[in-house]
Amino acid sequence: MDDSNDHQQADLQHFIQETRGQLQKRLVNELVAVQNRVYSQLESLSWLQKALTLKWSMPPLRGWATSPDVLLRLHEHVRLTRPKLVVECGSGASTLVIADALRQNGMGRLVTLEHKAFYAAKTQEYLDREDLAGLVDIRLGDLEPWPHPHLNQTGEPLFWYPEALVKDLKSIALLLVDGPPGNTCQYARYPAVPAMAGKLARKAEVWMDDTGRQDEKDICEAWAKDYRFKLEFIPLEKGLGRLVRGSARAPRKSAVKKTA
């Protein structure tokens, strides 16, 4: 009996030591990953601050806000490509960053779609105090039922921005999709490209934020397939989908079903 107990105690001690070692290793790996993410965001924020010509503070860049790594890429892209028209779904820090890049370019305008009056007003305040309001057209409208084909086949109500808000747009060089919120419905951001595909410039780009989430990744893959975009997933903090339009060919016939 004593030998049996000794073996059991030895086995238990070995198990505890092995488990402790695995937990310590996992904890160290997670801490290193967090440290790397924080460093990456601070590095991007530092470069972004150097690139911007803003006189006042920006909105907070944590939580639901666009991350510094995306904002830096966005600012650099607008500066380098000098687009005449940029459209974004959802207002906030990205609005200021795009507007600042347009001002530095000395050309171009931004149309921002927003469904919440509070956020539209806050963004307008930031633009006003930076003298950027003349470059940005914030278009406010409650989300409306989406009657066209959709990736969502659950039968739940589907909503998007009023189509009247984009009716007059043409030759969009860059479309940034960061709204509506993901909890609006499954695949809430899907309508952006169907609503504006015919309004995109011949070599337009579409950027989708938050492709670390499966819904946004699925949407990008559907857009790439149905509208013949070249798709790239960029491994940033929250994920970024970049879709590039190489020609003006008509979209493929979609497998997406029309909603009832």
Q: Give the residues across from 111 on adjacent strands.
A: 87, 137
Residue 60 C-beta-side C-alpha neighbours within 13 Å = 3
Token pair 């070249």: residue: 230
In-domain check, residue 127: yes
In the chain, the amino acid numbered 250 is A
Determine the average pLDDT of the residues in 45-71.
91
Note the pLDDT of residue 34: 67
Determine the average pLDDT of the residues in 142-148.
97
In-domain check, residue 201: yes
In-domain check, residue 70: yes
In-domain check, residue 240: yes
Any idea what the CATH number is for the domain that residue 130 is in?
3.40.50.150
SS3 145: strand
Tell me the per-residue pLDDT of 148-174, one tens digit each, with 9 for 90 and over. 999 999 999 999 999 999 999 999 999
Tell me the per-residue pLDDT of 188-216, one tens digit each, with 9 for 90 and over. 999 999 999 999 999 999 999 999 999 99
Q: What predicted TM-score, i.e. pTM, was given to this entire model?
A: 0.84
Q: pLDDT band for position 3 (50/70/90)?
A: low
Q: How far apart, in whole angstroms, are the C-alpha atoms of residue 159 and residue 70? A: 26
Phi, psi of 17 (to 5 degrees): -65, -40
Nearest to 252 by CA among 180, 165, 149: 149
Q: How far apart, in whole angstroms, are the C-alpha atoms of residue 149 and residue 204? A: 22
Residue 255 has pLDDT above 50, yes or no: no
Residue 110 has pLDDT above 50, yes or no: yes
Note the pLDDT of residue 100: 99
Note the pLDDT of residue 30: 72
How many domains is the chain built from?
Answer: 1
Structure tokens at 63: 């939580």
- Domain assignment of residue 145, given as a range: 52-245
Give the mean pLDDT of the chain: 90
